[in-house]
Amino acid sequence: MNGGVLGNLLTFCLFGAVGVFAARRMNVPVRVHTWVILVIAVVLGSFVGVNTAILSVFRVRLSLNWAIVSCCLGILVGLLVRTRTSTGSSARTA
């Protein structure tokens, strides 16, 4: 496997998990402007620190831009799942 592909895969998994963990700490329901800020951070995060490596070992590097994007996506997914489960469970009981 190519070092760049492995590095991107590790970055997405590691920082996506950090994002999901961070989403557990946030209160639900989330305001609309929080969703908008996270979506903007996903888009703009891909342009920040394009050639900056957070960690580079044996041609496998964790890139800053993909770390920002995957962390924000992890937060979005975590909040989406928590929002769906909280609204779904209350709708079933009512």
d(CA 29, CA 35): 11
Give the mean pLDDT per block of 10 residues along the chain (94 residues).
84 93 87 90 89 86 91 93 77 53
Q: Supply the pLDDT for residue 90.
A: 56
Cα(49)–Cα(56) distance, rounded to whole angstroms?
15
pTM to 2 decimals?
0.83
Nearest one of 90, 71, 70 to 28, comparing CA atoms: 90
Closest CA to 59 of 14, 4, 21, 10: 4
Does residue 91 contact residue 64 with C-beta atoms inside 8 Å?
A: no
Looking at residue 69, its pLDDT comes to 93
